[in-house]
Amino acid sequence: MNQQQIIPSRTVITSFSPATSSTVENYDEGQYVLHVTTSPSNTLLSCALSNQLIQTYDRSTLKLLQKYQPHSNTITSVKYINDDVILSSSTDGTCKLYDCKSNSVISTLSLSKEEALTVDVGYNGVLAAVGGSSGNIHFYDLRNISNKMHPLGSYVDAHTDDVTHVKFQSMTSSLLATASEDSLINVFDTSMPSEESALKSVMNTMAPLRQVGFFGPSQEGIFALTGSETLQVWHHDSCQLISDFGDVRNHLSHLGHASIQYLVGCHWSNKNQELNLVAGNTEGDCLVYKVEANNIVAKQKWNSGHKASIRSFVASDYNGNECFITAGEDSRLCEWCVSGNGGSDVVGANGIGGTGQETNTAAPTTRHAPKSGGGVIRRQKKKKAHAPY
């Protein structure tokens, strides 16, 4: 398969003080874009920055609509629960619900003596699952939002270390996958009345996890990315390991004819019925691969977008094309429409520049290899972390 070369259709510069090093754990030297997400109707786009700001843009024009600072520490995830309300989690131990219409925080979900490391929403925006730094998973009922909300219930025996990612399955929204530093992936049916009865599957990846997700025509598969940049794919009902690709960076570099230093994430393409892997390097290069049962194929190289490491991406259909938005350490959001190539508008704080030329270019970055792979900088491993077995 020939590798397709793609340039960004549009670029947003979220901050004019980009970070200068991916090794600065407290983000003292500038602003990274840590997370990016779109609303269910795909009319809004929001991103979380390393200075605890969340910025919302019109998806069509990419004009900045709102910015607010709901947290006092690093934002760990951001999700829409509907077209009007954004849910964010933070290492400050809270999740915040923000109403875009009233431009205000309408509720705080507080964890007791835990950092909120990840959040997702299931049951069509009704139930929030929050993964904490003590290995617990907390659930909140979002139907009756009040100023301060307490957990509806918690799973306390599933993990023995940081819960790094939680993900509801979109086809059966009661199914929840959880990942942890303890190397375990658990799948729960949250419609069951107890944690013991809810646990359906346990998969041991033998490596601390940072991201999991469902994939496949019936979402029967689970992909797993670890902190050491390894990739595994599983069948979650049978707990069968389909493929353990190991540390794929050298192989991806060879396939894509470019240096690959970290894995950004995976995405199931409904349009193409395939699992895609996004990977990159500290120079801002981004490559997309097709993951098969026992093989990986280079698909696309996204050029001339970012100038530093890519932290996050979101996929969505837009104007009939399958589009991706990537977020990076260079303070940029880049839009990539993989079904076509279009012009290259650069967007600043007030909307589209429209010239295809970049004005007010931020200071050049000093690029260094990440300490331990890519994605968001890893939390310090606990000195007395428990082994799963």
Residue ranges of the domains in the chain?
4-352
Cα angle value 61/65/66 (rounded, 5°): 150
Sign of CA dihedral 167, 168, 170, 172: positive
Put the strands of the sheet holding 44-49 in their side by side order.
33-38, 44-49, 54-58, 64-68
pTM of the model: 0.85
Q: Is 243 exposed, middle or buried (0-12, 13-18, 19+ CB in 10 A)?
A: middle
CA distance 14 to 32: 9
4-352, CATH topology level: Methylamine Dehydrogenase; Chain H (2.130.10)
Tens-digit pLDDT profile for the chain (389 aa)?
567 888 787 888 887 655 554 444 444 456 899 999 999 999 999 999 999 999 999 999 999 999 999 999 999 999 999 999 999 999 999 999 999 999 999 999 999 899 999 999 999 999 999 999 999 999 999 998 888 898 999 999 999 999 999 999 998 889 999 999 999 999 999 999 999 999 999 999 999 999 999 999 999 999 999 999 999 999 999 999 999 999 999 999 999 999 999 999 999 999 999 999 999 999 999 999 999 999 999 999 998 899 999 999 999 887 778 899 999 999 999 999 876 443 333 333 223 222 222 222 222 222 333 333 344 444 444 443 433 32
Pairing of strands 10-13, 345-348: parallel
